[in-house]
Structure 1
Amino acid sequence: MTHQTADILVIGAGIIGAASAYRLAQRGLKVTVLEKNHPASGSTGKSVAGVRAQFNSATNILLSRESIAEYAAMPESGYRAEGYLMLIPEAGWAAHQKAVALQQSLGIASLALTPEEAQQYTTFNTAGLGGCSFCSTDGKVDAHSLNHEYVRLAREAGARILLDTPVTAIERVGKSWRVTTPSGTFEAPQLLNAAGAWSGEIGALAGLDIPVEPARRMVFSTASIELPKPVPMTFDLASGVYLRSEGERLIFGRADPLDTGWREGMSWSWLEPTLMLALERFPFLESASLDQKASWWGYYELTPDQFPVVGRMPGAPGWLNACGFSGHGVMQAAATGRVMAQLALNETPFIDVSPLSIERFAAQEVRTLDLQV
């Protein structure tokens, strides 16, 4: 087997790994990326590819704000500012108004609306809602195209990206990390774990506890449906249902909190409870029919508090994590790549990611969940 060295090894060529590899190589580091399949073969390629800055924590807002700005300047991203509409139950409206104010203070074009005012974006049943918010610069991207563009940029900057190269063992050798694959071993003083839903398993290979687990998510698709106008991504925070126009179709879904672990395939039993709640809020769905072949499933990479793990690993010199984005990886990848390059070079990140440090779990911090579907 061959033995190769680098300044940093990146495990995973999904959008987080690819964006990080690009920025690391751009800064002059010798970068090798190890990907067990191919770019966008994991969570990136199965996401609904939404991007939003409507969060209630400054760190998430800034990671999304800077990433969306980068995507807007990249034709390959397919970024479309279609907006996100949030429907907030009465019990959560006071807190959400504070979140909107925080977003506005950080330069986000979020607006607080009455349920009646929000009807201009799509029709819905207003029962039980305290208010709504809308941000016109939220929207969607082409996750496949964007992921492959970061791979191209990384290679252009000098990174070596090896596909079909699964990691089978990781050990600390002197001051370096040695990674074993079927095609050889690789060694570097720094290692970036960007393996998405597999990040916990990558950590375990090195004897590290990284609390990231896979969670299966369903995306249901209607057949072609006639609507007065396209529906922006709309979240009903009361029921957990989201929906959005996708061409002439609608896609919709809802998280099943019990659907964790390595389960595969569509969970059609989850359709009925999801559709019942969706019809209560969006009666116009009554005229839609389901297209099973256009529906799909994929994995979220969840942490216990549904905030990502970003930063250095205590007790493991040279080990960096950028994982556990809990459904927000596509929308925050660009800024995360820049942050990881700065951390690898021992610089102060342009966004304070200390709230995302893995140490928070040992300290048993109690935090409010951010806006999550």
Structure 2
Amino acid sequence: MSERASWDVAVIGAGIIGAACAWRLAQRGLRTVVLEQASPAGGSTGKSAAGVRAQFTTETNILLSKFSIEEYAGMPDSGYRAGGYLLLVPDAQWPAHQQGVTLQHRLGVPTEVLTPEEAQVHAGFVPDGLGGCTFCATDGHVDAHGLTMAYVQRARKAGAQFRLDTAVIGIRHAGGVWQLDTRARSVEAPLIVNASGAWSGEVGALAGLEIPVRPARRMVYATGPLHLPRPLPMIFDLGSGVWLRSEGERLILGRADAADVGWREGLNWTWLEPTLEAAMARFPWLEAATLDRQASWWGYYEVTPDHQAIVGRMPGAEGWLNACGFSGHGVMHAAAVARVIAQEAVGETPFIDVTPLRYERFAERPQGLTDIQV
């Protein structure tokens, strides 16, 4: 059974990106249906550490975060807390990082430049090997699940429909229309938005498209309750890759394992030791903390070859829009990306230039990291 011509756009995925896109598309008067294989925020979104920061070194990423954070700050149900981000920057990275701060200031982001000694006001740490530190008070974190549900509610109110527990198992294009097959029924629409997170590469493959997104497992370890004099902001040690922040009376912390890619499941406890070793070298006071295994969790990043998102129309695939591959930046960028996707869907020029994130870049230049990833 097929719903012919019932929809203007079909969104695959109801994580924070898909839910936000659905709202903005429906706001534009587009008949929007969302197909989600499980439940809203049931994949990577709900397992995110939910940090939001505008401390990037490229204009596109800075603006995507800046406008998203502004939207979250105005949503009472977002759980946004401006606890700040403190970045600890090694000597070798400091000159380029300072250039990024100059760009952030030009774009209206209130980043402070601190010496390692000045940064101790936020948390005690060993300053060895650091060229400097930066702190932005408007960075922080959100309630990723609650925020996604808020977007779902807004999308539904605007007329979007959500088909949950509905996996897409086949996609084909004919006569200017995409047909998406599920086990229950087929859905047809001239526009499709691939917002399926770590599954985006597989969704593209259903349509015969090569979309370079693959899953990467990430650990979030939680300590037992601590008696800290004040909550810690999100702190990211760029040299070791360790990050940590307060979560209630606990700390949560992690460190990416570049080799942990693919559909691996479960908490990787063997990664705990190297994570703690790197963390305690910078934060020796962590030695007194206990670990709460029950409060720890894991989830998937959706990574691309250059660890940057893929946003916008797919070349050679009429009516296909990508909003995927965020490599840990999905919660940070969701609000602004949704506006970009809605503008592209109706033929408008996006309010942020997302040229650096378009699919075409993979054929135009060698891939390499272009921004920090936590």
**What TM-score do the two structures reach when normalised by structure 1?**
0.99
- Tell me the distance in 1 between the aligned counterparts of 2:277 and 2:229: 23
Which runs of structure 2 are paired with 1:1-373 in the superposition (5 Å)? 1-4=1-4, 5-366=6-367, 368-373=369-374
Which amino acid in 1 is paired with 2:49?
Answer: V
- Tell me the distance in 1 between the aligned counterparts of 2:177 and 2:214: 27
Which amino acid in 1 is paired with 2:197?
Answer: G
Summarize deviations over 1:49-71 as a string: whole Å, max 9, x none: 00000000000000000000000
- Tell me the distance in 1 between the aligned counterparts of 2:328 and 2:224: 25
Which amino acid in 2 is paired with 1:337?
Answer: A
- Tell me the distance in 1 between the aligned counterparts of 2:209 and 2:216: 21
Contact 2:37–2:165 (8 Å) recurs in 1:
yes
- Tell me the distance in 1 between the aligned counterparts of 2:198 and 2:371: 19
- Tell me the distance in 1 between the aligned counterparts of 2:43 and 2:24: 21
- Tell me the distance in 2 between the aligned counterparts of 1:366 and 1:321: 19
| Closer/same/farther in 2, CA of residues 282 and 140 from structure 1, 3 Å limit | same
- How many Å apart are 1:183 and its aligned residue? 1.2
Which amino acid in 1 is paired with 2:134?
Answer: S
- Tell me the distance in 2 between the aligned counterparts of 1:358 and 1:365: 13
Summarize deviations over 1:189-235 as a string: whole Å, max 9, x none: 11000000000000000000000000000000000011121110000
| Closer/same/farther in 2, CA of residues 302 and 366 from structure 1, 3 Å limit | closer
Contiguous gaps of at least 5 residues in structure 1: none
SS in 2 for 1:19: helix
Which amino acid in 2 is paired with 1:110?
Answer: T
- How many Å apart are 1:366 and its aligned residue? 4.6
Contact 2:224–2:250 (8 Å) recurs in 1:
yes
- Tell me the distance in 2 between the aligned counterparts of 1:321 and 1:290: 39
Contact 1:2–1:183 (8 Å) recurs in 2:
no
- Tell me the distance in 2 between the aligned counterparts of 1:172 and 1:60: 32
Which amino acid in 1 is paired with 2:85?
Answer: Y
- How many Å apart are 1:3 and its aligned residue? 2.6
- Tell me the distance in 2 between the aligned counterparts of 1:208 and 1:11: 15
- How many Å apart are 1:152 and its aligned residue? 0.4
Which amino acid in 1 is paired with 2:292?
Answer: D
Which amino acid in 1 is paired with 2:123?
Answer: T
Contact 2:2–2:188 (8 Å) recurs in 1:
no
**What TM-score do the two structures reach when normalised by structure 2?**
0.99
Contact 1:77–1:143 (8 Å) recurs in 2:
yes
- Tell me the distance in 2 between the aligned counterparts of 1:285 and 1:320: 45
Which amino acid in 2 is paired with 1:316?
Answer: A
Which amino acid in 2 is paired with 1:214?
Answer: P
- How many Å apart are 1:372 and its aligned residue? 1.3
Shifted more, 362-371 versus 136-145: the winner is 362-371
- How many Å apart are 1:369 and its aligned residue? 2.3
- Tell me the distance in 2 between the aligned counterparts of 1:47 and 1:210: 23
- Tell me the distance in 1 between the aligned counterparts of 2:26 and 2:3: 20
- Tell me the distance in 2 between the aligned counterparts of 1:365 and 1:273: 31
Contiguous gaps of at least 5 residues in structure 2: none
- How many Å apart are 1:335 and its aligned residue? 0.4
- Tell me the distance in 2 between the aligned counterparts of 1:248 and 1:289: 12
SS in 1 for 2:77: helix
- How many Å apart are 1:284 and its aligned residue? 1.0
- Tell me the distance in 1 between the aligned counterparts of 2:369 and 2:21: 28
Give the RMSD, CA atoms, in angstroms.
0.8
Summarize deviations over 1:327-368 as a string: whole Å, max 9, x none: 010011000110000000010000000111111011234554
